Structure 1
Amino acid sequence: MCKLLFQTKLTEKVGLYTEENMVKDIQLERVTNQARTGSIYLGKVRNVDQSIEAAFIEIEKNVVGFLAKKEFPFDGELSSSLTEGSSVIVQVIKEAYQDKGPRLTANITFPGNSMVYLPYSGYIACSKKLSEHERVRMESIFQPLLTEQEGLIIRTKSVEITEMDLREQLDKLRQTYEEIKSMASHKKAPCPLLLLHQIPDQMLNQYQSMPLTEIIFDQFEEMKKMERNFPQLADRMIYKQTVHSPDNKTIDQLLEESIQPAVRTKEGIMLTIEQTEGLTVIDIDSSQYKSRQNKGTTLFHINRKAIRPIAAEIRKRNLSGIILIDFLKMKNREEQQQIRKWLCKELEKDVIRTEVYGFTRLGLLEMARKREHVSLLQLLTDRSSTVHDVKNLESYAYQLERQLYAWNGTKTEAIIIAGSAEFLRFFRENIRPNIQGIITFDVYHFTDDQTLHYRIVRTGSVEIIEEYISQHKDLVIDKLL
């Protein structure tokens, strides 16, 4: 039983994908990250570096992306086609990572429910899941409709749709492309042309082929919008005023778990997940595991038991790039190959492409996972190591917003918050505009730079809060909400 749950009412948008009431994927969308994968910009060329055959394109103020020659689908050298200060339409294919800016392409794409339209590719590609007969039929439908320059990627879903509906979808995607071009001709670079929302749009697109039984929204208007964008999923969309995770954990509890380096499984196996700038290492500790089998059999059995939680943590934490797994020592190569086979089988459920390469001479299993978004660790902490990590200011600001929202409908009439100047400034600028009409009680605040981020000073009736304010005239206490 697979479900998608979306919390879009508050400033930080949250998407959860669950299987059998277990959270398998957590995705976040924040106001500070606009350059998301799939978004299209009219970029301004900063400079072209001929030595590496690449251009640096400014897409937002102080946001410069990297455009490689292979991502420029037009004839001629980059240096002759792109000059400093000129404009070019580009799309984000990889979000900014650590100190690196986003990776860009000029070979823009427009995804639909059953196809992806590529204005400059010049080829038709079909899903590998389609039979040879279905591929030939799809190509015969679309080949006469495309110019020599245009291309399509045809998804598995296309065989379930009538030819008329397929043509209509192609026309809509073409129309979107023409609107983007028209908009670009009247804009000054750098500026956004199409900002894609990760939650719920991209996450729905990512999981639309899964056997979803329910798609739950906490905003009715957002649900109706997604019904129009994903009509084939409309019958599974449900509105609920409050969306909870299936295990009744709060969002903040789920996020806190996702940045902890240690994970204990129900069998007593301990996984330690260490993320560095270059790679991620997953270690298996069996000291708490109990078994009556001989040592060799036990080690192999532990490795097998660890596969499912390892795959689950890779997905949930959005680990990407190079991943090394230090399985317990096995007796022979056959056991290693069996473990690799089981891991590959478990990773087939992942909607993000993974490659499992095999075991090194040191007994480490090598694998790689495509980087589409930053890991939860980097998003929540702004740091690359899991050692002694604490959440960043932005994470605490969203945590406070969820905390305030949870007090709606309770007996709380007013609240006083103390916070650092930087924290309160971020909250006022980025969160207050979104929740002013949502929070049903009064919120006051004052600056206290001895406080790390924020703390709740008083909650209760209006009289209690007014009494506190009158007794602390040395503090500048202002109304926040």
Structure 2
Amino acid sequence: MRKIIIHTKSTEKTGLVLENQQICEYMVDRPGRELLSGSIFVGKVENIHRGMQAAFIDIGEEKNAFLKRDQIPWAKEKIEQTVQEGQTLLVQVIREAVGEKGAQVTTDLTLPGLYCIYQPLGRKISVSKKLGDDLSEFVKAELEAIVNGEEGGIVRTAAGNEKTEVVIEEFRLLRKLWREQMQPIRKKSPQPVWRDHIIPDQLIRKFPISSLTDIIVDEVEMGRYIKERYPSVANKISWVKEVESILPSGINELQEALIQPVVKLENGVELVIEPTEAMTVIDVNSHRFKGKSLSDSQAFEVNTQAAKAISKQIRLRNHSGIILVDFLNMKNPSLEKKLVDFMRKQTREDLTKSNVMGMTRLGLMELTRKRDALSSVQVLSKPCLPAFDSEAMVYRMERELLAYSSHPAEAILIAINPQLYEMKKRLLSSLISSKIPQELFVRQDADVSDYQIELEGSENMVLEAIHRRKAPVDNLF
């Protein structure tokens, strides 16, 4: 059974899912960086790509959205006969923007609830195939009796565990919400019509309501909103002033763990998780057996323990797309098959669709996971730019100073970080100052990240600058 914890006191809203008192999912919502998936926009057709049979739609975001012809329900001809440049359309985001690609959108609009989905332009009522025939026909008939004009809807599998009148009431609530959202829209310029917030809406709808025991909030206003939006979960909502007090760890501590590439397990195994633009690569290391030869049965035991942790980390960090795992090597093909089956069993606990493809010819396990949002690493950390180590910086500095041999300047003033200064003394036995014609003055400065050529010119000019700064300098470097 699951608990949902919603922390909204801070500007950054956080949603957490607990299973067996362990945090298994983490979601975050920040002003200015809201997820677009599910949100509806007034969009303007910027241009049409006939070859791709798609249109690029301005929705008021940084990048134009991408609308495929097959995402236009009424399209019976080619896209250039279906929409025109400059035309305004109501579109809904179905996939987030990734890299240089804009968001993908559809004109098949939906407002989702817990038991049904309202489609303002759906034109028919559909029912989940997992519901029994008798119930399906009854619920469908009840909804068909109240829809008007182009309205439609979908009855979800969860409706099978709820009274029909609750499902009907939710449909009416979603219709009312849609009409309220449409009333203020007067302009035809690109703008949002309705935001499907990740917290609390997408978070609550992600799980079967029957599997949720508690929805804990830290603000009364949030609890009130959830009760109004999802009346059937009102009895599960409770208010705790300091929700972090009931978590296994604080949110800041959780975030620190999520951006670390190395995850240490209790059995001496380490996971090294490296997300790239194309895929996520996970390496399994066992320091407990370092320098020893493992039997296939030992390697299988370590690999199954690692597989449990990997499935949890993928879910917690929300990694998606292609994922490659380098497990400990096993020579027995039957054990490799058992490991693949074991991983498939682990991923079934994740409601985000995953597919374990099997082992590649290089012995890597390949799996995919549906992309529904940015990973925790993408949200919480900044990209690491390549940086030179201290040794490389010493040699780069030496080359740059030697290049001054051809300069007309009489003197050079350089500022250097004390640690780099000590590294230079260890690496270079001869003085750089003896290799160049200029008088070289060096001052140590902890505020300089590595080194910086501050001034070059006449010797008097450089000496005057040194005197003004009252900084100790060394001219034997």
Superposition TM-score tier, normalisation by shorter sequence: 0.7 to 0.9
Q: Work out whether residues 264 and 271 of structure 1, in 8 Å CA contact, stay in contact via their aligned partners in 2.
A: yes
CA distance in 2, matches of 1:337, 1:6: 40
2:108 match: 107
Counterpart for residue 465 of structure 1: none
2:36 is matched with: 36
Aligned partner of 1:16 in structure 2 is 16
Q: Secondary structure at the match of 1:244?
A: helix
Q: Displacement of 1:64 after TM fit?
A: 1.9
Structure 2: runs of 5+ lacking an equivalent: 388-446, 450-477
Whether contact under 8 Å (1:29, 1:198) holds in the other structure is yes
Question: Where does the alignment leave 5 or more consecutive residues of structure 1 unmatched?
Answer: 389-449, 453-481
Q: How does 1:46-445 map to 2 (within 5 A)?
A: 46-75=46-75, 76-121=77-122, 125-127=126-128, 129-142=130-143, 151-184=152-185, 186-209=186-209, 211-244=211-244, 246=246, 248-288=248-288, 295-383=295-383
TM-score by length of 2: 0.74
> 1:108-134, CA deviations, whole angstroms, 9 ceiling, x for partnerless residues?
111112012234455655445434554
Q: Which amino acid aligns with 2:166?
A: D
Q: Do 1:113 and 1:205's aligned partners in 2 also have CA atoms closer than 8 Å?
A: yes
Distance 1:322 1:67, change over 3 A: same
2:423 equivalent in structure 1: none
- Say which SS state the counterpart of residue 60 (structure 1) adopts: coil
User: Are 2:6 and 1:6 equivalent residues in the alignment?
Assistant: yes
Percent identical across equivalent pairs?
33
Q: How far, CA to CA, are the matches of 1:223 and 1:91 in structure 2?
A: 27
- Range 10-19 or range 140-149, more displaced: 140-149
**Separation in 1, partners of 2:333, 2:150:** 49
Amino acid corresponding to residue 51 of structure 1 in structure 2:
G
C-alpha distance 162-222 of structure 1, shift in aligned 2 (>3 A): same
User: Which amino acid counterpart does residue 362 of structure 2 have in structure 1?
Assistant: L
C-alpha distance 246-167 of structure 1, shift in aligned 2 (>3 A): closer
Please say if residues 158 and 208 of structure 2, whose CA atoms lie closer than 8 Å, have aligned partners that are also in contact. Answer: no
Give the partner amino acid of 2:355. E
The alignment partner of 2:287 has SS state of coil
Provide, for residues 144-171 of structure 1, a one-character-per-residue CA deviation record: whole Å limited to 9, x for no partner: 6557965433222212333333333223
CA contact (8 A) 1:95 1:103 kept: yes
* SS state at 2:173 partner: helix
Secondary structure in 2 matching 1:189: coil
Q: Report the Cα distance in structure 1 between the residues aligned to 2:143 and 2:272, rounded to whole angstroms.
A: 50
Task: Report the Cα offset of residue 308 of structure 1.
Answer: 1.4
In the aligned structure 1, how far is the partner of 2:351 from the partner of 2:164? 27
Moved more, 322-331 or 20-29: 322-331
1:74-130 CA distances to partner (integer Å, 9 max, x unpaired)? 223322333222211011111222232221111111111201223445565544543
2:311–2:347 CA contact under 8 A, matched in 1: yes
Q: Which secondary structure state, in structure 2, belongs to the residue aligned with residue 100 of structure 1?
A: coil
1:42 is matched by which residue type in structure 2?
A: V
The whole-number CA distance in structure 2 between the counterparts of 1:245 and 1:280 is 33
Distance 1:108 1:212, change over 3 A: same
Give the deviation of 1:263 after TM superposition.
Answer: 0.6
Q: SS where residue 207 of structure 1 aligns?
A: coil
| SS of alignment partner, residue 267 of structure 1 | coil
